[in-house]
Amino acid sequence: MGSQGIRAGQNVGGRFRLVAAIGKGGMAQVWRAHDLRTGRDAAVKFLRPDTEDLHQLDTRERLAELDMLRARFRREANLLAQLAHRGIPELYDRGSHDGMPYLAMRLVPGVTLHTFFAENGPLAPTVAAAVAAQAADALACAHTLPVVHRDLKPHNIMVSDEGVVVLLDFGIAKPIGAGVTQYTRHGSTLGSRGYQAPEQILEREPTTRTDIYSFGCVCYELFAGRAPFVLGEEKGLIEQHLHKDPLPPSAYAAGIPDALDDLLLRMLAKDPQQRPAIDEVIGVLNPLTPRPGSPEPRPRLRYDPTAPFRLPKNPPGDGSSATTPQPVPAVFGADDEWLDVRAVERLCDAAEQEIQEGDPDDAVRRLAHLAPRARQEWGARRPLVRRVWDLAADGLRIAGDCGGAAHLYESIADDLVRGEGPQERSDQAILRLRVAECRLAFGEIEAAIRVVEEAGYLAAGLPAPLAARVEEVRREVDLDLTERLAGPKIPEE
């Protein structure tokens, strides 16, 4: 049964009554449907096996392409089932309707960011920040899994009726790691023209930093009012993305802070390793968003992305993502004048015991929660502050929160390790190794190889006890790296 055979009024999966077609892409068609079980509306996405592109292939190629598309469709369902965030459509059901695979998910009434741009012209800075910060928070949820979206662009970002920003179309999204099956033909680049990272154009393996580049293009457009590269300049669009550095967005729009200027340019770095991680992106964007009680934009917006910040029920970035640990009950209230030293020491002891038992849990999460306050209140040189950060980072790493652990390790290296002596060089080497170990979960293999090699050279120049510490961690990371490089290809369901 082809997509032409889908009609309004049909019942899909015994649950979803089709109402109207609302969108069609290259290989999928989306219908608005009524969920008979819950009474709410849903979006039902069907794979289209009858497109013109497929008809141009011979029988063998067409069957191979259909197998790949069905596998991608299954992957999209598997990913959506794991991604729980209000900025990512929730998967309701999946199945086959008269031989055609379908996904049923939360319907997002609203407009695409592409339409939002067209309707509202240049955006006020707080409106741009509200869109960017919400999208970044949803992207962080995917990157924590870790999953790379691979097709971030204004057409795949929605602003809902309530002003919530939602990432759409995980159809070519991909989990990161060894053993993940490739569903791409050689010579076929994924992503959308004008938003592809250089490594996508060159058909290299994507990482989460690939999404950062595409998202950087979107954010540049949000704040500067134009894309970083446009047709009609001295080089073609692809050549510009590969070889040209963009102008700072402040060259096109007034009032852009230096920190945002710098962030957007680094997001568009040609070398993926020079791009910031999503947590750093969020750290720059969040302070630019409206606050509770802020005035609404003028002129008023039909779809207002500032509303979730100005009138918060569950504000963006509040930890509502299911892949992010829920806020822990505060041992130390935000209004307490000072942290209690003895209480912090007892919490460190509890976290240490959790780590030794191989089951980091509540105490580790509490330490990670209070670590910034301890650093602010007691300064960088107090040994207890370093103990808090070390235990929080080690605990999150062992618990599998690689993104959170990497952020803590990087902060320790930047703020808490001072001096150039042997002890400090040993500490820095171990911290860099731990960051590389965490980033391996996000597919950053080449960077890990460099860090492992550099640590070996550095250890050779350290006193024996310090060298042994570095070597122990270096061997751990090297073993992880070797296993990822040698991992078997495991087909996905």
489 is in an annotated binding site: no
| pLDDT on residue 445 | 84
Sign of the C-alpha dihedral computed for residues 426, 428, 432 and 437 taken in this order: positive
State residue 233 phi and psi, 5-degree precision.
Answer: -85, -175
Q: In angstroms, rounded to a whole number, what is the distance separating the alpha carbons of residues 405 and 238?
A: 36
What is the pTM for the complete model shown?
A: 0.64
Does position 302 have pLDDT exceeding 90, yes or no? yes
Asked if pLDDT for residue 482 goes beyond 90, the answer is: no
User: Tell me, what's the pLDDT at 330?
Assistant: 43
- pLDDT at 152 exceeding the cut of 70: yes
In the chain, domain spans: 3-106, 110-310, 341-486
Termini Cα distance of the chain: 23
Percent of the chain with pLDDT over 70: 82
Tell me how far apart the alpha carbons of residues 344 and 330 are, in angstroms, rounded to a whole number: 12
pLDDT band with cut points at 50, 70 and 90 for residue 174: very low
Q: Considering 35, 151, 304, 427, which one is annotated as catalytic?
A: 151
Question: In whole angstroms, what is the distance from residue 224 CA to residue 407 CA?
Answer: 29
Average pLDDT of span 207-232: 91
183, pLDDT greater than 60? no
Q: H or E stretch including 480?
A: helix 464-486
Cα four-point dihedral sign 59, 96, 1, 191: negative
- The token pair at 78 is 């598997």
Topology annotation, domain 110-310: Transferase(Phosphotransferase); domain 1 (1.10.510)
CATH fold, domain 341-486, is 1.25.40
151 catalytic per annotation: yes
Q: 226: which 2 tokens?
A: 């134009």
Whole-number Å distance between alpha carbons of 46 and 24: 9
| 370 CB-near residues (< 8 Å, 6+ apart) | 331, 332, 339, 344, 347, 388
Please say if the pLDDT value at position 429 is more than 90. yes
Cα 306 from Cα 201, distance rounded (Å):
34
Task: Please write down the HEC assignment for all residues of 73-134.
Answer: HHHHHHHHHHCCCCCCCCEEEEEEECCEEEEEEECCCEEEHHHHHHHHCCCCHHHHHHHHHH
pLDDT tens digits along 339-385:
888 889 999 999 999 998 888 888 998 898 888 888 888 888 889 99
pLDDT at position 451 is 92
The rounded distance, in Å, linking the Cα atoms of 292 and 312 is 7
Kindly tell me the burial class for residue 408, based on how many C-beta atoms sit within 10 Å of its own C-beta (0-12, 13-18, 19 or more): buried
Q: Which residues contact 187 (CB under 8 A, 6 or more apart)?
A: 203
Prior bond of 299 cis (ω within 30°): yes
Residues 6+ apart with CB under 8 A from 395: 351, 354, 355, 360, 363, 364, 365, 367, 368
List, in order, residues 6 or more apart from 439 with CB less than 8 Å away.
Answer: 402, 406, 447, 448
Determine the 3-state secondary structure of 377 from DSSP. helix
Dist CA 44 CA 30 (whole Å): 6
CATH class of 3-106: alpha beta
pLDDT of 188 > 60? The answer is: no
Dump pLDDT digits (tens) for 252-300.
998 899 999 999 999 999 999 899 988 899 999 999 999 999 999 988 9
Q: Give the three-state DSSP class for 316.
A: coil
Percentage of residues in the chain having pLDDT higher than 90: 46
pLDDT tier for residue 56 given thresholds of 50, 70 and 90: low
Q: Would you give the DSSP letter of residue 414?
A: I
